[in-house]
Chain A
């Protein structure tokens, strides 16, 4: 799946601008960005719900806008599944079987049983967690290779959330599919995703393997004799400061910064474990508003 030069303006405002990336199957990709960064718009454009102002989305070389049949390979699961409140479980099954020729009914019932989801007359009767599970089960049964999830764990309790994430991981482990998750829950994506797309002001700021990204940065705790020198402040991102104690993110591979710090003879210069959240803050800025 390839996203090439996609731009989208809504009400004359750029929501996405010149987005390029491609995704292969067999991975879990996290789309992260601050609220209003354009995560949902990106996912909706990738499924053809919205027309891009410029650019194209292709699967196996076919544009999803010119050849919509190719969208049998993509399924979008929105953050709330209000569309089928009045449908029974069976009716939804009939609907999806008729849309996706590769729909695997046996697999569907297998998952329903495993997560002890009952068949109901109206899916509106499902609890919030059941609805989330149900839309995932449906999505996984369609046989689509690219599964786009918008905030799949929003508002779920811990137990259901774990179930949702586990079925998601098994899906990737068992089949040749890719799951694209938009989320602001960085702690969840931390170990689950292998790639991260960061969106900032409608632009893709980076598409990296998480491990690659972690090798680029280093999180350290510093205690200076006095305050941090001004010239050093320009080189690092300060996550936190209490008195003379600083927590900063710095470039791991730049000996210059390392050297600068050593020159100030800090009282403490210690590496801390680097979390996705730290990179997020370093890349997209602003300690607050992460979630």
Chain B
């Protein structure tokens, strides 16, 4: 996994997205901290002009710089793109033939990809974090840093990104090409919360019963760790556990890869029925949820009817497209 050639190849393959990720990290932390300091100063001056107001930096303001806001969303998308360029794109082009013909084990090939992505995320995060931290620390607002914990601003996001990258790579080890890797990363990244929302809408329409969202559902949702930093110890321990689990599973799957299925939706054909069933039920339930929402909220019977109309229509769609998806084959030999 420390073969120089593989690092070189991975870098050549992902150069663009690596620079995008670095830029996003710089905007996210150091640049945003400079801007925030200016904003806070301005707000304080305004507050001083008005009689009886005192401005204080809020916890939310600090979290915005380190772990929340829109930039982590873009960062998570870029991390998916990185994972897709490392695995999915190889499958769409013939580059996979080259890598698999090399005198390296598949385990080494995979771990080189993982380690490469992890190192990039780790170094970019650490460097930018400490730059931003120092900028605030030496300013007049250094006390603001006491409002947040290290888990919330440092460990949570770092381990969240690392876990999420590992997750996106894992998806790449059993999907046959780039588009399905992107699609399934989003789908499975939200799966527990998504399934919960679908069940909730079902029981709500039929029985007027609403479950409350249990915490463990959130903890099982990969995207949760990227967008939401609660500062609990779980947001350190669970990403570590998931990272380990995903890494083990993905290495195993990559070693077992049958790349003659490259270009198809899934590499492992045994997963096809599972995927087809899941996607059909999911789309149908979503159909019910969407159409029932169009009916007036108070008309019980109408909502149930609307639900099943939506359910049936979407079920038909799902059946039609499902087969096509699993039998497709996307491979291009031209310019990637």
Q: Do the two chains belong together in a single complex?
A: yes
B105 cross-chain contacts in A, Cβ below 8 A: 68
Contact, CB under 8 Å: B95 / A83: yes
What's the nearest-Cβ distance from chain B to residue A40, in Å? 10
Contact, CB under 8 Å: A71 / B94: no
Which residues from 57 to 102 on chain A have a C-beta closer than 8 Å to any C-beta of chain B? 68-72, 74-76, 78, 80, 82-83, 85-87, 91, 94-96, 98-100
Contact, CB under 8 Å: B101 / A71: yes
Q: How far is the CA of A96 from the CA of B9 in the complex (A)?
A: 10
Chain B binder among A48-56, A179-187, A208-216: A48-56
User: A124 in the interface, Cβ–Cβ < 8 Å?
Assistant: yes
Q: How far is the CA of A147 from the CA of B336 in the complex (A)?
A: 27
What's the nearest-Cβ distance from chain B to residue A13, in Å? 11
What's the nearest-Cβ distance from chain A to residue B237, in Å? 36
| Chain B window 86-129, contacts with chain A (Cβ cutoff 8 Å), 1 for yes, 0 for no | 00000001111110111111101000000000000000000000
B96 cross-chain contacts in A, Cβ below 8 A: 49
Q: How far is the CA of A48 from the CA of B8 in the complex (A)?
A: 22
B333 cross-chain contacts in A, Cβ below 8 A: 80, 82
| Chain B window 118-160, contacts with chain A (Cβ cutoff 8 Å), 1 for yes, 0 for no | 0000000000000000000000000000000000000000000
User: B259 in the interface, Cβ–Cβ < 8 Å?
Assistant: yes
User: B3 in the interface, Cβ–Cβ < 8 Å?
Assistant: yes
With A82-B334, A87-B12 in contact, do A98 and B4 touch (Cβ < 8 Å)? yes
User: B215 in the interface, Cβ–Cβ < 8 Å?
Assistant: no
B104 cross-chain contacts in A, Cβ below 8 A: 68-69
The one of B3, B12, B94, B102 that contacts A91, using a Cβ cutoff of 8 Å:
B12
The one of A48, A74, A124 that contacts B100, using a Cβ cutoff of 8 Å:
A48
Contact, CB under 8 Å: B101 / A48: yes
What's the nearest-Cβ distance from chain B to residue A162, in Å? 26
Closest chain A residue, CB of each to CB of B95: A83
User: A47 in the interface, Cβ–Cβ < 8 Å?
Assistant: yes
With A71-B103, A80-B333, A85-B335 in contact, do A49 and B97 touch (Cβ < 8 Å)? yes
Contact, CB under 8 Å: B94 / A51: no
Contact, CB under 8 Å: A75 / B101: yes
Closest chain A residue, CB of each to CB of B15: A86
Contact, CB under 8 Å: B103 / A70: yes
What's the nearest-Cβ distance from chain A to residue B258, in Å? 6
B8 cross-chain contacts in A, Cβ below 8 A: 94-95, 98
The one of A44, A74, A96 that contacts B97, using a Cβ cutoff of 8 Å:
A44
What's the nearest-Cβ distance from chain B to residue A39, in Å? 15
Contact, CB under 8 Å: A47 / B101: yes
| Chain B window 322-336, contacts with chain A (Cβ cutoff 8 Å), 1 for yes, 0 for no | 000000000001111
A159 cross-chain contacts in B, Cβ below 8 A: none
Q: How far is the CA of A98 from the CA of B3 in the complex (A)?
A: 8
Contact, CB under 8 Å: B94 / A83: yes
With A49-B259, A95-B5, A95-B8 in contact, do A83 and B103 touch (Cβ < 8 Å)? no
9 residue pairs A–B, Cβ–Cβ below 8 Å: A47-B100, A47-B101, A50-B258, A71-B103, A74-B101, A76-B101, A83-B93, A85-B336, A86-B12
